[in-house]
Amino acid sequence: MVHDSPDNPDDRAHKLPPAAASDTPPDLDPATTGGDDEDEARLPDILEESGAVGEGPLASGHEAIERAVRLAPTSPGVYRMLNASADVLYVGKAKNVKKRLSSYARQNAPQPARILRMIAATVSVEIVSTNTETEALLLEANLIKQLRPRFNVQLRDDKSFPYILITGDHWAPQILKHRGAQSRPGRYFGPFASAGAVNRTITALQRAFLIRSCTDSFFESRTRPCLLYQIRRCAGPCTREIDFPGYTTLVREASDFLSGKSRAVKQELAGEMEKAAGELEFERAALYRDRLAALSAIQSQQGINPRTVEEADVFAIHQEGGFSCVEVFFFRTGQNWGNRAYFPRAEKTFTPEEVLGSFLAQFYDDKPPPRNILLSHEIDESELLANALAIKAGHKVEVAAPKRGEKKELVAHALTNAREALGRKLADTATQSRLLDAIATTLSLPHSPKRIEVYDNSHIQGTNAVGAMIVAGPDGFVKNQYRKFNIKSEGITPGDDFAMMREVLERRFKRLINPPEEGVAKAKDDDFPQWPDLVIIDGGRGQLNAVCEIFTNLGLTQVSLMSVAKGPDRDAGRETLFMPEREAIKLEPRDPVLYFIQRLRDEAHRFVIGSHRKLRKKDIREAGLQEIPGIGPSRKRALLHHFGTLKEIERASITDLGKVPGVSAESARRIFEYFHPQAG
């Protein structure tokens, strides 16, 4: 399907001139009004008080939309409303764009407060024509995900789902977790709700079917079975502990189980166990018994498994306290492959049906839909959505809110989970909000911090030095904002923590002060602030003074700064807090604020240590080979590609080393003697 590009519209796309610029009054700022019920009741007064009636922003917005109506097509398409800064406020689609925009242009027509605020902020409209309304629906969903307009429902957590892959490009297929494009030959099973669900299933499948999980390079380099064979989680095809027909049978059984033929597979294994026991081969019977137990463990972890629903995604929405939660369950081959809770960003005035309808279009923008989509609420244009998804999937897709039977039970179960997930979310948010308010009070901050940044660095005698920044906000840790900084300055004395912190902070804040042309990347969640309200560093008064000097040189005066010094003997609960031009602060060991600060510091420490270890491991791996005479970059890459890890190269014999392309017999001897000097 071909869409007109919104950024480079052809002759069917219409970009309309902006209206006369006028600042939106604070009372009309969508970020501050939020769509509360109180705003709904007071909106006429707010508009009149702010001058938004007659010659004010609301009138300007109507004028901009009226100009768009005059040039709008009567065919299907997608329209975008923009403010004075050319930020997209709203993306919508319509079967008749002219008619839809006309509904916004009527000045005396009753409109929800959300719509009036949007109109008041609008100064221009862009339109992209499409061939059909189905194309318009798909393009609208794509643009909402890409542009994240303030007045649309936004799917904030949009990670790709993991699959289980049984490879098909090797005589001994491998089982592994897979994300992304399904380009490698093999059979894909999924989607699964989370990586944890995939990992647990793969572990159980290894116990049940003994399929290898090692890489092809590791497989080819084996001269004896690995530990997984010893603990009965692999059949050992690498060293021919099992023949080709036997391993093929195991792979077929695993594929059948994941394809929904679990009952037949279990019956087959039970028959083999009884046969082995009848022949007094009790060790082989015990092996079948353990495999059956592993299969039962998989099914017990899956929880509810439908009897009559082979393939479906179940969506249930619950709203409370101005928030929405959409719980999604994945059922494939009659098995429950996990569930996940989403918290889409939407104003309080959106109904559950509106949130769910917009959520579904965005959810399947980059995912293959199943044959059945079961909903807790009837949505508008469900038939249009089903047709659009059928075009994407290449098969019929049914979208429905079931009224009876097992499908209704599945939706009710999902709705219960949505209600519980939103309850936990609201409790966590309330707790986090109280902690942020408390830290503002304790540290005498001007307001509750919306963004806290914590910095730490790690090195070993100055080598592999790395700095890290973690971020926390009202919703807890914001991991897509974490950053690591490889220390680049060559003039830094090894172990000079002050100089390392100076480089990290200068790189971080210079980028904020002078962002690149494309601008500072925003958080995926929403308009999460990029400037911190509070910066925390690990250290005492000396580190604090050094950072104060850096901030002064950069002209930073609006960012609060604090350092956390460990207590005597590094005991948790006895930390001292330092702030510029203030006495040291000692909190009670059981103070929730102190515990919160400890969590922030420990998360920064965890993140920087992990980054340092990855860097050090890579450095050690490369350095170990580079020290061998006659081994350059090409041979180093060939060895690592063949064996997979440095440890396997160390274990390899001279004969195995000589099998690597580009490694001569003399080079193989040198490598072997480097790792085994006693053999020389």
pLDDT at 41: 47
Q: How confident is the model at residue 376 (pLDDT cuts 50, 70, 90)?
A: very high
Is 208 a residue whose pLDDT tops 90?
A: no
CA distance 290 to 36: 58
Q: How confident is the model at residue 304 (pLDDT cuts 50, 70, 90)?
A: low
Domain membership of residue 446 (yes or no) is: no
The answer to whether the beta carbons of residues 379 and 388 sit under 8 Å apart is: no
Is 625 a residue whose pLDDT tops 80?
A: no
Q: Find the mean pLDDT for residues 544-554.
A: 86
pLDDT at 616: 58
Output 198 or 293, whichever has higher pLDDT. Answer: 198
Residue 18, judged by CB atoms within 10 A of its CB (0-12, 13-18, 19+), counts as middle
Q: How confident is the model at residue 13 (pLDDT cuts 50, 70, 90)?
A: very low
Q: What is the pLDDT of residues 78-128, one digit of tens each?
A: 999 998 888 899 999 999 999 999 888 877 777 788 888 888 889 889 999
Shared domain check, 631 and 554: no
For residue 585, give the DSSP letter.
E
Q: What is the pLDDT of residues 309-320, one digit of tens each?
A: 778 889 999 998
CA distance 271 to 348: 58
**Mind giving me the DSSP string for 416-483?**
HHHHHHHHHHHHHHHHHHHHHHHHHHHHT-SS--S-EEEEEEEEETTEEEEEEEEEEETTEE-GGG-E
Domain membership of residue 5 (yes or no) is: no
- Both tokens of 304, joined, read 């509810």
pLDDT at 247: 92
What is the percent of the chain with per-residue pLDDT over 90, rounded to a whole number?
Answer: 11
For residue 630, give the DSSP letter.
T
Range of lowest pLDDT (402-411, 447-456, 618-627): 618-627
Tell whether omega for the bond before 18 is within 30 degrees of 0, i.e. cis: no
Q: Which of 562, 586, 616 is the last residue of a domain?
A: 616
pLDDT at 16: 41
Range of lowest pLDDT (299-303, 534-538, 662-666, 674-678): 299-303
- C-alpha 326, offset from chain centre: 16
Domain membership of residue 438 (yes or no) is: no
pLDDT at 55: 42
Measured CA angle at 265 (ends 264, 266), to 5 deg? 90
Shared domain check, 599 and 460: yes
Shared domain check, 115 and 47: yes
Domain membership of residue 6 (yes or no) is: no
Three state DSSP letters for 125-157: EEEEECCCHHHHHHHHHHHHHHHCCCCCCECCC
Q: How confident is the model at residue 194 (pLDDT cuts 50, 70, 90)?
A: confident
Q: Find the mean pLDDT for residues 578-598.
A: 87
Q: How confident is the model at residue 501 (pLDDT cuts 50, 70, 90)?
A: confident
Output 196 or 5, whichever has higher pLDDT. Answer: 196
pLDDT at 71: 86
Shared domain check, 572 and 523: yes
pLDDT at 257: 79
pLDDT at 38: 46
pLDDT at 521: 42
Domain membership of residue 259 (yes or no) is: yes
Pairing relation of β-strands 560-565 and 534-538? parallel
Output 79 or 191, whichever has higher pLDDT. Answer: 79
Of the candidates 520, 487, 527, the one whose C-alpha atom is nearest the C-alpha of residue 505 is 487
Amino acid at 662: G
CA distance 79 to 127: 4
Is 214 a residue whose pLDDT tops 60?
A: yes
User: How many Å from the N-terminal Cα to the C-terminal Cα in the chain?
Assistant: 66
Pairing relation of β-strands 88-94 and 77-82? antiparallel
Output 38 or 152, whichever has higher pLDDT. Answer: 152
Is 342 a residue whose pLDDT tops 80?
A: yes
Of the candidates 615, 600, 578, the one whose C-alpha atom is nearest the C-alpha of residue 456 is 600
Output 32 or 637, whichever has higher pLDDT. Answer: 637
CATH of the domain at 339: 3.30.420.340
Q: Find the mean pLDDT for residues 527-539.
A: 86
Of the candidates 291, 300, 316, 277, the one whose C-alpha atom is nearest the C-alpha of residue 402 is 316
What is the percent of the chain with per-residue pLDDT over 70, rounded to a whole number?
Answer: 79
Shared domain check, 498 and 636: no
**Rounded-to-10 torsion of CA 595, 599, 602, 607:** -170
Is 242 a residue whose pLDDT tops 80?
A: yes
pLDDT at 91: 92
Shared domain check, 470 and 347: no
Residue with tokens 């299907």: 76
Is 164 a residue whose pLDDT tops 60?
A: yes
Q: Find the mean pLDDT for residues 252-278.
A: 77
Q: Which residues touch 175 (CB under 8 Å, ≥6 apart)?
A: 164, 165, 166, 167, 202, 205, 206, 211, 212, 213, 254
Shared domain check, 329 and 292: no
Output 443 or 288, whichever has higher pLDDT. Answer: 443
Q: Find the mean pLDDT for residues 649-672.
A: 82
Q: Find the mean pLDDT for residues 25-52.
A: 42
CA distance 551 to 557: 7
CATH of the domain at 632: 1.10.150.20
Q: Which of 277, 302, 327 is the last residue of a domain?
A: 302
pLDDT at 416: 92
Domain membership of residue 141 (yes or no) is: yes
Residue with tokens 């050690």: 620
Q: How confident is the model at residue 512 (pLDDT cuts 50, 70, 90)?
A: confident
Shared domain check, 661 and 582: no
The domain tally of the chain equals 5
Range of lowest pLDDT (42-46, 202-206, 450-454): 42-46
Range of lowest pLDDT (207-211, 226-230, 293-297, 345-349): 293-297
Shared domain check, 546 and 473: yes
Q: Which of 383, 406, 424 is the last residue of a domain?
A: 424
Three state DSSP letters for 351-405: CHHHHHHHHHHHHCCCCCCCCEEEECCCCCCHHHHHHHHHHHHCCCCEEECCCCH
pLDDT at 4: 39
Q: How confident is the model at residue 356 (pLDDT cuts 50, 70, 90)?
A: very high
**Rounded-to-10 torsion of CA 165, 167, 168, 169:** 140
pLDDT at 301: 54
Q: Which residues touch 458 (CB under 8 Å, ≥6 apart)?
A: 465, 466, 468, 608, 609, 611, 612
Domain membership of residue 674 (yes or no) is: yes
Residue with tokens 């919508």: 92
pLDDT at 6: 40
Is 552 a residue whose pLDDT tops 80?
A: yes
Domain interval for residue 672:
627-679
SS3 542: helix
pLDDT at 346: 85
Q: What is the pLDDT of residues 445-462, one digit of tens each?
A: 989 999 999 988 775 554
Q: Find the mean pLDDT for residues 171-189.
A: 87
The answer to whether the beta carbons of residues 226 and 213 sit under 8 Å apart is: no
pLDDT at 621: 52
**Rounded-to-10 torsion of CA 543, 548, 553, 556:** 130
Residue with tokens 């790189």: 507
Q: Find the mean pLDDT for residues 335-348.
A: 84
pLDDT at 487: 74
CA distance 365 to 363: 6
pLDDT at 415: 92
pLDDT at 306: 66
Q: Average model confidence (pLDDT) for the chain?
A: 78
Of the candidates 80, 72, 99, the one whose C-alpha atom is nearest the C-alpha of residue 140 is 80
Shared domain check, 399 and 291: no
Shared domain check, 588 and 461: yes
> 82-115 in b/e burial notation, b at 16+ Cβ within 10 A?
bbbeeebbbbbbbbebbebbbebbeeeeebebbb
pLDDT at 377: 92
Q: How confident is the model at residue 39 (pLDDT cuts 50, 70, 90)?
A: very low
Of the candidates 63, 78, 82, the one whose C-alpha atom is nearest the C-alpha of residue 149 is 82
Q: Which residues pair with 331 in a beta bridge?
A: 312, 336
Q: How confident is the model at residue 23 (pLDDT cuts 50, 70, 90)?
A: very low
The answer to whether the beta carbons of residues 425 and 436 sit under 8 Å apart is: no
Three state DSSP letters for 93-113: EECCHHHHHHHHHCCCCCCCH
Alpha helices in 444-580 (DSSP H): 497-513, 541-554
pLDDT at 112: 80
Domain membership of residue 157 (yes or no) is: no
CA distance 83 to 274: 74
Shared domain check, 73 and 45: yes
Measured CA angle at 93 (ends 92, 97), to 5 deg? 110
Pairing relation of β-strands 186-189 and 398-400? unpaired
Of the candidates 13, 398, 337, the one whose C-alpha atom is nearest the C-alpha of residue 164 is 337
